[in-house]
Chains A and B, each alone.
Chain A
Amino acid sequence: MSEADMAIIKPEMMMKSYIWLETTDGSIQQVEQEIAMYCPMICHEVLQKGLGAGSSKNCAISLPQRVNPAMLSLILDYCRFHQVPGRSNKERKVHDEKFIRMDTKRLCELASAADSLQLKPLVDLSSRALARIIEGKTPEEIREIFHLPDDLTEEEKLEPLKNLMDDPRIRLLNRLYAKKRKELKEREKLKGKEVEERVDERSVDDLLSFINGKDHKVVKTSKSKKKNKKRKEHKNKVSHNLHSKQQGVQIVDETASSLGGVSNLPSMEEDIFSLKTDSEDGYVDDGMDPVLKEMLDREVEDFARRLNSSWVLSSGQERQPVHFSINGNGATRRLTAFQVMLGSLILLMVFGWQVPEFCGVTVKGNSRVRISGLTGTEGGDEWFDLSYIILDEASDPPKYDNVPADREDLVRDVLSSTLLFPFELQLCISELELL
């Protein structure tokens, strides 16, 4: 162009600057700058690549693959309307409602294109529209609308409804326990121990006797009442089994209803004691971890020796509630009472909520409580064992007795540090039972 031409053209060009955009199909178009810059992605590209970017056909800004020319045109229309500052909220809303009316296919494309251009208001607008389409429709209808392949087997479709008889909290517990066993196994392997296979030979009845069908309480005020339990019939069985091999799985049961009918028991028992977990979790359990079993056996014997007779409960005897206290800021709050079952071992799971102060466990009288939980550290979870804690309601902080030397630090750390374990299960148990 001659100088004269340039002089004529330049002023016009100065008034409006354009950006060149290229879509993946190769087509290039020219768009007013303020409209194009309304899209964050384009804005970033221009800023990042410097002044030259998009200023001419040759160095056009290439748009992501999900933006085809039709969608680009739509999006630019949207930007053209909204980048004008003077519009009222109502105006914008009315425009959007009209704008979003289009067939489902285009709606999906639009959402996709807006997403790749990072244009959040339009992403939200199209997402809401798609959500409205999905909402309230049967799966068949949704498949029809979006042309989804019906490629799940009948069994797969029923999966979330599987195991209707189980108390899901138990399964959660199982999952956690399985995870823990896995870790233990690995640790033992590292230590070079041999893993023995042991078979659990307890009778079904014995195992079933630990199942507790109590209701748990709502904690309202500090004057919560002790509920009567239906455990009397289990008492004798449990004490009888004191010295036999026992499994350390704790069953936490809250609502009676979930275990109401006898029909529930078999599947539950099956689930707990064979430690089957949801296949989705990827945990395969075929029995009790032998190493842990050994540990538990030792503890059973230990406990039997140290048993404090005042604590022996037999049918009809006094039951003592366990109070889980959190000592935050010096005040002791009773959260709920714990119900612990299963023979001589009382296994409590301590859950991590982010309490900078320690959490303690308080049990009335002299009792031996084993507390296990997870504490998160930089490296990952560590399953600690706070056994041998003597809990005394009056003591603050709780004392611990006979903690093995190598555990002392850990116990102290746990009691004073933040428990980071994801809060998977918080027990609401009603009472402590000790045998």
Chain B
Amino acid sequence: SKIGGESLRNRDPMKKDMISELPEALLLHILSYVPTEDVIATSVLSKRWKSLWKMVPKLEFKFLSMLRIEDVYRLLILHKAPFLESFHLKIEDAKGRSDISFLIGIAFSHHVRELVLNLCHDDQKKVRFPSVLCSYNNTLEVLELAQDVLLDFPSRVCFNALRELHLCHVEFKDEESVCNLLSGCPRLQDLVVERYSSFDVETYTIAVPSLQRLTIEDDGSQDMYGGGYVINAPSLKYLSIKDLYGIDFCLIENAPELVEADINDVSHIDNENILASLTSAKRLSFQFTVEIKYPTGSIFYQLVSLELDIKGINWWNLLSFMLDSSPKLQSLKLDGSCWEDCPVGWEWNEPKCVPECLLLHLETLVWRSYGWQREDEKQVATYILKNAKQLKKATFDPAYVGPKELEKLEKRREMLNELASVARGSTSCHLLFESK
């Protein structure tokens, strides 16, 4: 009874164990958030905890710590959980590498759902991922491979449950391997590729009917040129491409379901194709360092939000094009230049007719790093303020001036006042100057 319990508590000097009485499933759940080394350490806590660690379905081995490959084996022997939710392996010592197939095999046999493999060493020797294990797998849902892994798939793999795949600086033996891997994942939704272009294959073909999210990060700074990407993903919703330097082409085939695309730091390629394939997007974000070709006739018929980095050459032409081609645009964000002066002989041809979006839809304008000293930015800003009839809020975050530079500050204030006194197209427009 309550009373009895209370007095017992008062009398009893020993404090009651708070946690060991929890159901085992709950204890395992708690331990699954604890790093593996600490989990193993719980084996010395008390009788109740002695064997608990063996059932935690998450194993994470990072060889930075005191663990050696022998220890991993020992632990795997002792480990009793029939299923592994997640198996993380980060191996940095050369000896451990040769056991990869072994360890992956063990993980697969425990029906692992998430496998993360990070092999990173100074000697840059590649370790082959055991392709034989990939011919039939029904449980793996997330696979992350990073660094110094060689992928050689002479025949199509079968990863029936794979949803998420991260390939970070891994090496494919040939283009066939790329194809055999990607086409063997019928449920793949999320693909992240980080690589150096042309490092392993010339043409990187991503043909995945089920793919919804694609991220490509191609660091071309490794002095490799040529090659490119072919992306064929009809279910694609989210696309992010970064740092495509020095490649020859990036063909994106039709992506009618596209919701959002983020293209950053893309240059030296035939960019016309890229823009043309993004016409279904609702949100776009671009950063082009060189002038690109504009796919004339393309209309971004669903585009509602646009973010443009305007540090590139002739950026205003891109802006004009986008304004003309995006009838439904509601929000425009611009990232301005830090450079003081606009190029000599610049010329911006104002659009012949005011773009539809300015007349009917544009409600928000945000201009970061607004280059108040630059004629080009000033002119464009003025044009927008004059013509955007539905504009509700325009925020300018002017380019930075140090607090000691009084002359500059004065000049800036003058410029901003000038902007503010422009006759605005929208009577309800709220103009805001922010300084970060």
Q: A147-183 CB contact bits vs B (8 Å, 1 = yes)? A: 1111110001101100000011101100100000000
- B50 x A152 contact (CB < 8 A): yes
Residues of chain B in range 119-137 having any CB-CB distance to chain A below 8 Å? 125-128, 130-133, 135-137
User: Of B45, B98, B102, which contacts A142 at CB under 8 A?
Assistant: B45
- B98 x A428 contact (CB < 8 A): yes
- A426 x B105 contact (CB < 8 A): yes
Interface of A toward B, CB cutoff 8 Å: 25, 104-105, 108-109, 111-112, 115, 123, 127-128, 130-132, 134-137, 139, 142-143, 146-152, 156-157, 159-160, 167-169, 171-172, 175, 216-221, 254-255, 257-258, 278, 280, 326, 328-331, 333, 335-336, 351-357, 418, 422-428
Shortest B94–chain A CB gap in Å is: 9
From known contacts A135-B38, A147-B17, A424-B109, infer whether A157 and B33 are also in contact, taking CB-CB under 8 Å.
no
User: Of A115, A157, A426, which contacts B23 at CB under 8 A?
Assistant: A115
B97 at the interface (CB under 8 A from A): yes
Shortest B80–chain A CB gap in Å is: 9
Q: How many A-B residue pairs have CB under 8 A?
A: 184
User: Of A220, A424, A426, which contacts B128 at CB under 8 A?
Assistant: A220
Residues of chain B in range 48-99 having any CB-CB distance to chain A below 8 Å? 48-51, 69-70, 73-78, 95, 97-99
From known contacts A131-B31, A328-B132, infer whether A111 and B154 are also in contact, taking CB-CB under 8 Å.
no
- B26 x A353 contact (CB < 8 A): no
Question: Within 8 Å CB of A355, what residues of B?
Answer: 132, 135-136
- B18 x A146 contact (CB < 8 A): yes
Shortest A147–chain B CB gap in Å is: 4
Further contacts, 6 of them, CB under 8 A, given A333-B154, A428-B99? A123-B29, A142-B45, A328-B135, A328-B155, A427-B102, A428-B102
Shortest B409–chain A CB gap in Å is: 35
Question: Within 8 Å CB of A104, what residues of B?
Answer: 18
- A172 x B73 contact (CB < 8 A): yes
User: Of A109, A150, A326, which contacts B135 at CB under 8 A?
Assistant: A326
User: Of B22, B102, B137, which contacts A111 at CB under 8 A?
Assistant: B22
B34 at the interface (CB under 8 A from A): yes
- Give Cα A151 to B46, complex, Å: 5
User: Of B44, B102, B110, B137, which contacts A157 at CB under 8 A?
Assistant: B44
Question: Within 8 Å CB of A218, what residues of B?
Answer: 97-98, 125, 127-128
- Give Cα A167 to B76, complex, Å: 13
List 13 interface pairs A-B (beta carbons < 8 Å), by A numbering. A123-B29, A128-B33, A131-B33, A132-B33, A134-B30, A136-B38, A146-B18, A168-B77, A220-B150, A328-B132, A423-B106, A424-B106, A426-B105
Shortest B112–chain A CB gap in Å is: 11
B15 at the interface (CB under 8 A from A): yes
Closest A residue to B72 by beta carbon equals: A168
From known contacts A146-B17, A278-B77, A333-B131, infer whether A139 and B42 are also in contact, taking CB-CB under 8 Å.
yes
Question: Within 8 Å CB of A137, what residues of B?
Answer: 38
Closest A residue to B154 by beta carbon equals: A331
B20 at the interface (CB under 8 A from A): yes
The 10 closest A-B pairs by CB, nearest first: A423-B109, A131-B33, A168-B73, A329-B155, A426-B105, A147-B15, A328-B135, A168-B74, A326-B132, A157-B44
Question: Within 8 Å CB of B22, what residues of A?
Answer: 108, 111-112, 115
- B18 x A331 contact (CB < 8 A): no
Question: Within 8 Å CB of B2, what residues of A?
Answer: 25
Question: Within 8 Å CB of A328, what residues of B?
Answer: 132, 135, 155
B16 at the interface (CB under 8 A from A): yes
B11 at the interface (CB under 8 A from A): no
Shortest B82–chain A CB gap in Å is: 8
- Give Cα A132 to B38, complex, Å: 11
Question: Within 8 Å CB of B30, what residues of A?
Answer: 111, 127, 130-131, 134
Question: Within 8 Å CB of A353, what residues of B?
Answer: 105, 108-109, 132-133, 136
- A168 x B70 contact (CB < 8 A): yes
- Give Cα A134 to B126, complex, Å: 37
B344 at the interface (CB under 8 A from A): no
Interface of B toward A, CB cutoff 8 Å: 2, 14-20, 22-23, 26, 29-35, 38, 40-51, 69-70, 73-78, 95, 97-99, 101-102, 105-106, 108-110, 125-128, 130-133, 135-138, 150, 152, 154-156
Shortest B380–chain A CB gap in Å is: 33
- Give Cα A342 to B70, complex, Å: 23
Question: Within 8 Å CB of A220, what residues of B?
Answer: 125-128, 150
Question: Within 8 Å CB of B126, what residues of A?
Answer: 220
Shortest B364–chain A CB gap in Å is: 18
- A127 x B26 contact (CB < 8 A): yes
- Give Cα A329 to B184, complex, Å: 13
- Give Cα A131 to B78, complex, Å: 22
From known contacts A329-B135, A329-B156, A423-B105, infer whether A175 and B77 are also in contact, taking CB-CB under 8 Å.
yes
Shortest B252–chain A CB gap in Å is: 30
- Give Cα A355 to B136, complex, Å: 6
- Give Cα A248 to B45, complex, Å: 41
Interface centre among A123, A354, A355, by most chain B C-beta atoms within 10 angstroms, is A354
Question: Within 8 Å CB of A423, what residues of B?
Answer: 105-106, 108-110
Question: Within 8 Å CB of A425, what residues of B?
Answer: 102
- A351 x B105 contact (CB < 8 A): yes
Shortest B377–chain A CB gap in Å is: 32
From known contacts A172-B77, A219-B101, A335-B132, infer whether A352 and B31 are also in contact, taking CB-CB under 8 Å.
no
From known contacts A171-B77, A422-B109, A424-B109, infer whether A134 and B38 are also in contact, taking CB-CB under 8 Å.
yes
- B18 x A147 contact (CB < 8 A): yes
- Give Cα A217 to B101, complex, Å: 11
- B95 x A255 contact (CB < 8 A): yes
From known contacts A219-B128, A424-B109, infer whether A257 and B44 are also in contact, taking CB-CB under 8 Å.
no
Question: Within 8 Å CB of A25, what residues of B?
Answer: 2
From known contacts A218-B97, A254-B98, A329-B135, infer whether A105 and B23 are also in contact, taking CB-CB under 8 Å.
no
Question: Within 8 Å CB of B101, what residues of A?
Answer: 219, 335-336, 426, 428
User: Of A142, A167, A330, A357, which contacts B42 at CB under 8 A?
Assistant: A142
- Give Cα A25 to B73, complex, Å: 49
From known contacts A335-B101, A336-B101, A428-B99, infer whether A147 and B16 are also in contact, taking CB-CB under 8 Å.
yes
Question: Within 8 Å CB of B32, what residues of A?
Answer: 127, 131
- B34 x A131 contact (CB < 8 A): yes
- A278 x B78 contact (CB < 8 A): yes
Question: Within 8 Å CB of B47, what residues of A?
Answer: 149, 151-152
- A258 x B49 contact (CB < 8 A): no
Shortest A222–chain B CB gap in Å is: 9
Interface centre among A168, A172, A254, by most chain B C-beta atoms within 10 angstroms, is A168
Question: Within 8 Å CB of A171, what residues of B?
Answer: 77
